């Protein structure tokens, strides 16, 4: 009897862990609009603590940028 309960619990855990979750599970994303003469480094420094290099990389990755070049008026999602 104990084995059956353990097996059912294992199957339930497997089904729960494999189920789809909403992409909004981590809350709303912050979106910024690039101002004239603003750099990705300045945005990263203003919105993240510590070394901005990692934040620049995260912003580039989240917005599918090919590099650090951004344009005024461009909207960027901050992860």
Instruction: Summarize pLDDT for 33-51 with one digit per residue, the tens.
Output: 999 999 999 999 999 999 9
Number of structural domains the chain divides into:
1
pLDDT for the residue numbered 28: 74
pLDDT for the residue numbered 41: 96
pLDDT, the chain, mean: 85
Q: Cα-flanking dihedrals φ and ψ of residue 65, to 5°?
A: -85, 145
Q: Is residue 16 part of a domain?
A: no
Q: Is residue 9 part of a domain?
A: no
Q: What's the CATH number where 47 sits?
A: 3.10.350
pLDDT for the residue numbered 1: 83
Summarised one tens digit per residue, pLDDT across range 53-72 is 999 999 999 999 999 899 99
Residue 50: domain span: 27-79
21-30 — which CB contacts under 8 Å span 24+ positions? Answer: 29/77, 29/78, 29/79, 30/77, 30/78
């Amino acid at each position: 009897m104990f084995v059956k309960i353990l097996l059912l619990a294992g199957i339930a855990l497997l089904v729960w862990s494999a189920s789809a979750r909403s992409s909004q599970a981590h809350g709303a994303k912050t979106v910024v609009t690039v101002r004239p003469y603003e750099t990705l480094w300045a945005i990263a420094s203003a919105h993240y603590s510590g070394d901005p290099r990692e934040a620049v990389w995260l912003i580039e990755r989240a917005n599918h940028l090919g590099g650090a070049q951004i344009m005024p008026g461009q909207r960027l999602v901050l992860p």
